[in-house]
Amino acid sequence: MLNIHPISKASFILAAFALVTTGLVALTHLLTEDTIAQAQENAIQQTINQLVPADMYNNAIAQDCIVKQDVNGENIRVFRARFDEHPVAVVLESIAPNGYNGRIDLLVAIDTEQRILGVRTVKHTETPGLGDKIEIKKSNWITYFAGLSVTDDNQKNWAVRNDGGMFDAFTGATITPRAVVGAVKNTLVWAQEQDLFAQGQTCGEKQ
């Protein structure tokens, strides 16, 4: 009669459960991996469609993507829009690290004359009802950026009204729009110095 110590038996059972449960998770991961990637790509493509008019470009913009390091050393993705191989616009991820509740993820579209085509908030944790007016669903504040650019003359105007700038702040929430305005401005200035249509590390290689 085989005599197994109760502790060994318990360990074996526990190990078996660990194997089965992780196996199930791994299986689900394998089965959903492609769908998740597809959903993420759709979400990006949808936002890009809001920012860059569809008749402006004819490449697969979501795939024409490189990874760059922004001013704060964060890895950001750059999507390039081309019309018959000619650069027409870039859509950049922009991170405002100094939101009221942490970082705010933005997408900024810039044309080749360094003018903003549009800005959208992708992800944020700002206070509902106050800071969340940066979402296009809640308010059209974010559309005010369209058509603007940063020049030596208007540098100072790139701030919220409370700081002497040209952007409205929200009642009860100045920190959120201040963070967004700052991030968009930094992105514009940064983008002017970069050759964003050059070859680079493509997004698929990012891990």
Partner 1 sequence: MNQYQEISWQGLWKNNPALVQMLGLCPLLAVTNTAVNALGLGLATLFVLIGSNITVSIVRNWIPNEIRIPVFVMVIASLVTIVQLLMNAYTYELYQTLGIFIPLIVTNCAIIGRAEAFASKNSVQFAAYDGLMMGSGFLVVLLALGAIREVLGNGTLLQGAEQIFGEAASNWHLVLFSPEQNFLLAILPPGAFIIMGLLIALKNKYDKRIEKLVIGEKTKQTIERARVTTESA
Nearer to partner 1, 16 or 60 (CB): 16
Nearer to partner 1 by C-beta: 12 or 83?
12
For partner 1, which is the closer residue by CB, 10 or 146?
10
Q: How far is the CB of 202 from partner 1 (least distance, A)?
A: 23
Q: How far is the CB of 169 from partner 1 (least distance, A)?
A: 15
Burial of 129 (0-12, 13-18, 19+ CB in 10 A): exposed
Sign of the four-CA dihedral 195, 196, 199, 204: positive
Angle at 78 between CA 160 and CA 188, to 5 degrees: 30
Strand boundaries in 42-171, DSSP class E: 65-69, 75-83, 86-99, 102-111, 116-123
Q: How far is the CB of 74 from partner 1 (least distance, A)?
A: 20
Contact set with partner 1 (CB under 8 A): 6, 9-10, 13-14, 17-18, 21-22, 24-25, 28-29, 32, 35-36, 39-40, 42-43, 123, 127-130, 171
Compute φ and ψ for 83, nearest 5 degrees: -115, 115
Q: How far is the CB of 125 from partner 1 (least distance, A)?
A: 8
Q: Closer to partner 1 at the Cβ: 41 or 112?
A: 41
Integer Cα distance of 192 and 114 in angstroms: 7
Cβ closest to partner 1, residue 113 vs residue 137: 137
The least CB distance from residue 162 to partner 1, in Å, is 19
**Six-digit token string for 49:** 């469609």
Name which of 122, 134, 203, 120 is nearest 169 in CA terms: 134
Q: What is the dihedral of CA 114, 115, 121, 124, to 10 degrees?
A: 50
Minimum Å gap between C-beta 32 and partner 1 is 4
Give the nearer residue to partner 1 in terms of CB position, either 128 or 164. Answer: 128
Secondary structure of residue 202 in the 3-state scheme: strand
